[in-house]
Amino acid sequence: MSQSDPASPTQPRPTARLLLSARDRPGLVAAIANFIYSNGGDVTQADQHTDEEEGMFFQRVEFRLDEFELSRDELRAALADITNSLNMNCSVRYSDEERRVAVLVSRQSHCLVDLLGRWHANELPGKPVVVVSNHPDHAELVGHFGLPFHYLPVTSETRQAQEAALLEVLSEAGVELVVLARYMQILTAQVIDAYKYRVINIHHSFLPAFSGGRPYHQAHARGVKLIGATAHYATVDLDEGPIIEQDTARVSHRDGLDDLERTGRDLETVVLARAVRLHLLDRVLVYGRKTVVF
Amino acid sequence: MSQSDPASPTQPRPTARLLLSARDRPGLVAAIANFIYSNGGDVTQADQHTDEEEGMFFQRVEFRLDEFELSRDELRAALADITNSLNMNCSVRYSDEERRVAVLVSRQSHCLVDLLGRWHANELPGKPVVVVSNHPDHAELVGHFGLPFHYLPVTSETRQAQEAALLEVLSEAGVELVVLARYMQILTAQVIDAYKYRVINIHHSFLPAFSGGRPYHQAHARGVKLIGATAHYATVDLDEGPIIEQDTARVSHRDGLDDLERTGRDLETVVLARAVRLHLLDRVLVYGRKTVVF
Amino acid sequence: MSQSDPASPTQPRPTARLLLSARDRPGLVAAIANFIYSNGGDVTQADQHTDEEEGMFFQRVEFRLDEFELSRDELRAALADITNSLNMNCSVRYSDEERRVAVLVSRQSHCLVDLLGRWHANELPGKPVVVVSNHPDHAELVGHFGLPFHYLPVTSETRQAQEAALLEVLSEAGVELVVLARYMQILTAQVIDAYKYRVINIHHSFLPAFSGGRPYHQAHARGVKLIGATAHYATVDLDEGPIIEQDTARVSHRDGLDDLERTGRDLETVVLARAVRLHLLDRVLVYGRKTVVF
Amino acid sequence: MSQSDPASPTQPRPTARLLLSARDRPGLVAAIANFIYSNGGDVTQADQHTDEEEGMFFQRVEFRLDEFELSRDELRAALADITNSLNMNCSVRYSDEERRVAVLVSRQSHCLVDLLGRWHANELPGKPVVVVSNHPDHAELVGHFGLPFHYLPVTSETRQAQEAALLEVLSEAGVELVVLARYMQILTAQVIDAYKYRVINIHHSFLPAFSGGRPYHQAHARGVKLIGATAHYATVDLDEGPIIEQDTARVSHRDGLDDLERTGRDLETVVLARAVRLHLLDRVLVYGRKTVVF
């Protein structure tokens, strides 16, 4: 299969996307709106949230660059002047940037196949550039999609060396986002810190219920009437990272462990794909243990 | 029972809410942001949507008035200058305005009881001021909640006169929003036009499926696996008005007509209450047959 | 308001309902089917589940009594012969029995109002006979529905005496099922044991997430994208009882604590009402920490 | 990729599955239970439904064959004696039968890829044996999964000849179930009648809303807040066949047509896979325009 075009077909005209956060104060919205307008930008979407309890301001603004008068370097510099003076954090991304993604996987293939299928059908932003696994099983499958596959086995003794090799693979492939598509290994701080809030994990429960291992076994033993899946940024505190997306599905006493796992796989693939999509559209802003998802 | 306080406990500091729509062009966001900021307003929430196909711009902005330097009359005038020059439609509402609501009901009481209970518990914005019914059944119930009840029976022969009486009741009570809480009568243009996009109806199906009469009978006959409810603005084209909110619930072959109706009632109450809430928080903007729900 | 008729309008012809459980072995289904048929019963619904892991058999059978040749006493005796010989646990209930229900409540009224409204509209089986609260707030509301209201305040020092008074109220009212409609007090073993698997609690989270106190605060702090509610049988292990029903609703960063509580109330009322209904239709069978819900 | 084993890993011991329907009368349950028990069968699951309005009885019984004393031929004959005398319709299937499935597809591949992935992961019953398309696009993809691909283009002029060719392909492959995985052609009576209630279609709306062509366009124009998908048996009345499974997902004004289609694809794949699974586990019984789904 041929590699899909990374540019999303639904946004042909390039846009800039700002993600802003700051201690709340009057004038933040006006400052950004004026900057964009006075330089010829055309806002296509703007979303703002104020957390009244924390006194925090968050904004996502997307604007067209067709008539924008500043180069991308000039934009970044001019914007920094404004955000510095207002004490705002700001990230700038462009819709036509190439976003290089690695997928890490273990034995179960459903999330991997689902993501590769979406990229193949050109319906997910980003460009998959490498797949890494601690098992050799999916080499052929990945090859069908025209992607390099790295088999990096790991034990608790070899973890540090394996992660060093992983980091090298990611670095050489120019990876920006790491997707843990049911990768059943814990990543230590050396990987997590290098890709802070750029590692997305799918946990197969509605966290914080059933954190840790074998959540479907836990759910089955507890007799819940719903199962769930949670996509979150990986942090060194296992299953404690900021949640991006969750969903649940009904189950009943008729569902054995096999049925929970089968139903759960459908949840996992959809929830993970939604989270990857939101991240790559620059819709997720982390603060504390939480996310704002615009 | 005593009447509940109409002011929502969650927004103690008064805010202004602007709902704007216009043919899309650069500068709209900046113009509004500047107006608010330069007069001392503090934006607490802003949401914007551009319909690229239609070339339309929509925005909802809410801002605190604590430090705002214009009176409400001055605000309205100054804002009109801006919106006229930019060809924008604009509505201005205040969070501390009294929003007087009438509920129209027939024999079934579940939506009526649900709404009155929410107002009693102070969890729904707006102030119920009158209940009208074409049946006498719920007079006592409404009396418990301390509200006037008007019994206005109707037949196809008396419809015009009954609607005239209804309009008089609404007008005397200073009603702004009319909620059809399973009111099983068609309203003609004389009422609809007088309260354009201010009459909310609950239809007991996921429109456009099963429009018209007896939707649960239709759903049962068709053997669907989901039933639904739809809250929409009433228009003279029955069941064709702009949709505000919808939801569905699973049913199975085990569910007889009674079960569909029972399950459906829970959907109807929740969907109608959500729509009333959205309307009274000025979150709904109608365009064409559709709504933008911020 | 007048008291509603406890008989469900949808099942006018009386039926018997058997709930059976046993170690699995061949012939259980046939033995029960033969017993019913040979005595002139007509099965209207039968549902069976085998837990293959545990080797357990569960069945619910409902059959019409129009042509049944045994009296209710004879039925019980004849059935005991069969179930004893096959080592089955069996409960027998009749659709026309009066099922007397107590509702316990604290300050929040939404579940109480919802349940009383359903009984008033004749849509929930069972007959409410008494409301007990540790706060005096809802006396008038309960009076409107024509029910006795008992105010039994409690502190940690007076718990034992208050529970003794509660047990007396329940006993005098001939209560069979106790519904904790956001009753914010822990019941000790003296109540729980007296009404084993006959006390239904609503917990305002998707257990086992956010067990214990203030679950909406916990959910808000954790930044979840779903909130939930769980109806379960109360046991002495708080929030650990067998789950009858659960549901979830989506929330976002926009939802403050107030919004979580408001959205949650809609979940709580519906989930609790569904659980009460299932129990009173004899659809719930407890085994271990789990339930079979037919 | 190698072909997956058609036997489901979760039911290693073979079972027989009876699907029964009859005019309701006493004794039906007992007759079947006795037949199974007296011949050494062990019921693992039994589910019964009586449609009181129609006076119809439906049952699904599954029982283990380990100790069953009749051969499969003997079973069929003995059972026919009973069901004939009681005027019951009865189908008998075995869990270890090979169920040969054809998938028909047009340009869109998501349902095809999803189904092939599930079979590959051994999580869906049945054995895919052939893929037919009116476009050549997916030949290579299908080849990766080791399946024959037949390209049968069609125009309104050539429909009859193309369907004849299709029928030959199906017949030669020994196909029992035909899955229309977004096959965008109408099948005429010559195919439908040959595979009565054995052709499953996925329609991309919550039928009966938006039947006919381009349902996402219709949904977008109507401004609905939910989109849906419906799996049903294909009949000659387009989009009118008995519904097996449906589901919905929330959408908003922010969702353009592309977004509706993307969200809809996730619904379509899951709803179709569920319907195929239910059919192949012999859980679906058609009566009139409806289904009983055990």
Q: How far apart are CA A222 and CA A205, in angstroms?
A: 13
Domain annotation for chain A: domains and CATH numbers: 15-94 (3.30.70.260), 100-293 (3.40.50.170)
Choose the closest CB to B52 out of D209, D223, D256.
Answer: D256
Chain C residue set in contact with D, beta carbons under 8 Å: 26-30, 33-34, 36-38, 40-50, 52, 67, 250
Q: Is a pLDDT exceeding 80 seen at residue A36? A: yes
Across the interface, whether the CB atoms of B117 and C121 are under 8 A apart is answered no
pLDDT 10s digits, A243-257? 999 999 999 999 999
- The pLDDT of residue A78: 95
Q: Any idea which of B130-134, B284-288, D9-13 has the lowest mean pLDDT? A: D9-13
Mean pLDDT of B246-267: 94
pLDDT mean across residues, chain B: 93
According to DSSP, residue C275 is labeled: H
| Percent residues over pLDDT 90 in chain C | 86
Q: How far apart are CA C125 and CA C99, in angstroms?
A: 8
- The pLDDT of residue C5: 41
Nearest CA-CA distance, residue D168 and chain A, Å: 30
Instruction: Please report which confidence band the pLDDT of residue C10 belongs to, taking 50, 70 and 90 as the band edges.
Output: very low
Choose the closest CB to C47 out of D30, D41, D47.
Answer: D47
Q: Is a pLDDT exceeding 90 seen at residue C11? A: no
Class of residue A189 by CB neighbours under 10 A (exposed 0-12, middle 13-18, buried 19+)? exposed
pLDDT 10s digits, C166-179? 999 999 999 999 99
Q: Any idea which of A51-55, B217-221, C146-150 has the lowest mean pLDDT? A: A51-55
Nearest CA-CA distance, residue C232 and chain D, Å: 25
Nearest residue of chain A to residue B10 (CA atoms): A52
CA angle (A225, A227, A228) in 5-degree steps: 145
Helix (H) or strand (E) holding C200, with range, is: strand C199-203
pLDDT 10s digits, A87-120? 999 999 999 999 999 999 999 999 999 999 899 8
C211 and A222 in contact (C-beta within 8 Å)?
A: no
Across the interface, whether the CB atoms of D140 and A110 are under 8 A apart is answered no
Instruction: Please report which confidence band the pLDDT of residue A3 belongs to, taking 50, 70 and 90 as the band edges.
Output: very low
Among B39, B145, B32, B20, smallest CA distance to B82 is for B32
Cβ neighbours of A44 in B, within 8 Å: 50, 52
Chain C residue set in contact with B, beta carbons under 8 Å: 1, 9-10, 109-110, 113-114, 117, 121, 123, 140-141, 144, 256, 258-259, 262, 265-266, 270, 273
Across the interface, whether the CB atoms of B293 and D49 are under 8 A apart is answered no
C-alpha torsion angle, residues B265, B270, B275, B276 (rounded to 10)? 90
Choose the closest CB to A50 out of B34, B44, B67.
Answer: B44
**What is the DSSP track for D84-147?**
HHTT-EEEEEETTS--EEEEEE-S--HHHHHHHHHHHTT-SSSEEEEEEESSSTTHHHHHHTT-
Q: How far apart are CA C93 and CA C100, in angstroms?
A: 14
Q: Is a pLDDT exceeding 80 seen at residue A210? A: yes
The catalytic position among C239, C247, C255, C266 is: C239
Across the interface, whether the CB atoms of A49 and B45 are under 8 A apart is answered yes
Q: Which one has a higher pLDDT value, A242 or C239?
A: A242
Instruction: Please report which confidence band the pLDDT of residue D13 belongs to, taking 50, 70 and 90 as the band edges.
Output: confident
Mean pLDDT of D259-265: 94
pLDDT 10s digits, D186-233? 999 999 999 999 999 999 999 999 998 899 999 999 999 999 999 999
What angle do the packed helices A110-120 and D110-120 form, to 10 degrees?
160
Nearest residue of chain C to residue A215 (CA atoms): C208
- The pLDDT of residue A121: 85
Choose the closest CB to B262 out of C113, C123, C259.
Answer: C123
Q: How many CB atoms neighbour CB A256 within 10 A?
A: 15
- Subunits with 3+ C-beta pairs closer than 8 A to A: B, C, D
Helix (H) or strand (E) holding A97, with range, is: none
pLDDT 10s digits, C64-95? 999 999 999 999 999 999 999 999 999 999 99
- The pLDDT of residue B8: 44
According to DSSP, residue B118 is labeled: H
The catalytic position among A114, A239, A255, A282 is: A239
Amino acid present at A152 = L
Cβ neighbours of C275 in A, within 8 Å: none
Q: Is a pLDDT exceeding 70 seen at residue C9? A: no
Cβ neighbours of B9 in C, within 8 Å: 258
- The pLDDT of residue A238: 85
pLDDT 10s digits, B119-175? 988 889 999 999 999 999 999 989 988 999 999 999 999 999 999 999 999 999 999
Instruction: Report, in angstroms and rounded to the nearest whole number, the Rg of chain B calculated over CA atoms.
Output: 21
Place of tokens 């307008």: A37
Mean pLDDT of C2-13: 48
- The pLDDT of residue C173: 98
Among B282, B268, B283, B279, smallest CA distance to B114 is for B268
Q: Is B8 helix (H, G, I), strand (E, B) or coil?
A: coil
Nearest residue of chain C to residue A292 (CA atoms): C253
Q: How far apart are CA D245 and CA A83, in angstroms?
A: 52
- The pLDDT of residue B197: 97
Instruction: Please report which confidence band the pLDDT of residue C52 belongs to, taking 50, 70 and 90 as the band edges.
Output: confident
Q: How far apart are CA D142 and CA D152, in angstroms?
A: 15
Q: Is a pLDDT exceeding 60 seen at residue D79? A: yes
Q: Is a pLDDT exceeding 90 seen at residue C53? A: no
Nearest residue of chain A to residue D46 (CA atoms): A254
Q: Which runs of E-coded beta strand occur in C29-151?
A: 42-51, 56-64, 89-94, 100-105, 127-133, 149-151
pLDDT 10s digits, B49-63? 999 888 999 999 999
| Percent residues over pLDDT 90 in chain B | 86
The C127-133 sheet, strands edge to edge:
C149-151, C127-133, C100-105, C177-180, C199-203, C226-233, C243-250
User: For chain A, percent helix, then strand, then coil, each to nearest 5?
Assistant: 30, 30, 40
- The pLDDT of residue C212: 87
Nearest residue of chain A to residue B67 (CA atoms): A26
Q: Which two tokens stand for residue A255?
A: 């569902």
- The pLDDT of residue A235: 96
What angle do the packed helices B110-120 and B257-280 form, to 10 degrees?
40
Cβ neighbours of C123 in B, within 8 Å: 262, 265
Q: How far apart are CA B187 and CA B189, in angstroms?
A: 7
Mean pLDDT of C227-245: 95
Report the first-to-last Cα separation within chain C, whole angstroms.
34
Q: Is C171 helix (H, G, I), strand (E, B) or coil?
A: helix
Q: How far is CA D269 from CA A129, A266, B231, D203, in A?
A: 26, 10, 29, 11
According to DSSP, residue C99 is labeled: -
Q: Which runs of E-coded beta strand occur in D167-289?
A: 177-180, 199-203, 226-233, 243-250, 284-287
Q: Is a pLDDT exceeding 80 seen at residue D1? A: no
Q: How many CB atoms neighbour CB D172 within 10 A?
A: 11
Q: Is a pLDDT exceeding 50 seen at residue A205? A: yes
Q: Is a pLDDT exceeding 60 seen at residue A9? A: no
Q: Which two tokens stand for residue C257?
A: 């604590």
Q: Which two tokens stand for residue C167?
A: 């047990």
Nearest CA-CA distance, residue B207 and chain C, Å: 22
Nearest residue of chain A to residue B55 (CA atoms): A44
Nearest CA-CA distance, residue B161 and chain C, Å: 32
Nearest CA-CA distance, residue A251 and chain C, Å: 10
> Which residues in D227-265 are b (16+ Cβ under 10 Å) and which e?
bbbbbbbbbeeebbbbbbbbbbbebebebeeebbbbbbb
Cβ neighbours of A52 in C, within 8 Å: 256
Nearest residue of chain D to residue B232 (CA atoms): D224
Cβ neighbours of D42 in C, within 8 Å: 26
Across the interface, whether the CB atoms of A258 and D121 are under 8 A apart is answered no
Q: Is a pLDDT exceeding 70 seen at residue A273? A: yes
Choose the closest CB to C209 out of A208, A256, A293.
Answer: A208
Mean pLDDT of D130-155: 95
The answer to whether B237 is a known catalytic residue is no
Q: Which two tokens stand for residue A24?
A: 């709340």
Among A195, A185, A180, smallest CA distance to A154 is for A185
- The pLDDT of residue A144: 86
Cβ neighbours of C225 in A, within 8 Å: 243-246, 293
pLDDT 10s digits, B258-277? 999 999 999 999 999 999 99
Q: Peptide bond before D208: cis, by omega within 30 degrees of 0? A: yes
Report the first-to-last Cα separation within chain B, whole angstroms.
34
C-alpha torsion angle, residues D243, D269, D176, D73 (rounded to 10)? -80
C166 and C259 in contact (C-beta within 8 Å)?
A: no
Mean pLDDT of D40-67: 92
Helices (runs of H) and strands (runs of E) counted in chain B: 8, 13
Q: How far apart are CA D172 and CA D150, in angstroms?
A: 12
Nearest CA-CA distance, residue A52 and chain B, Å: 9
Q: How far apart are CA B30 and CA B50, in angstroms?
A: 15
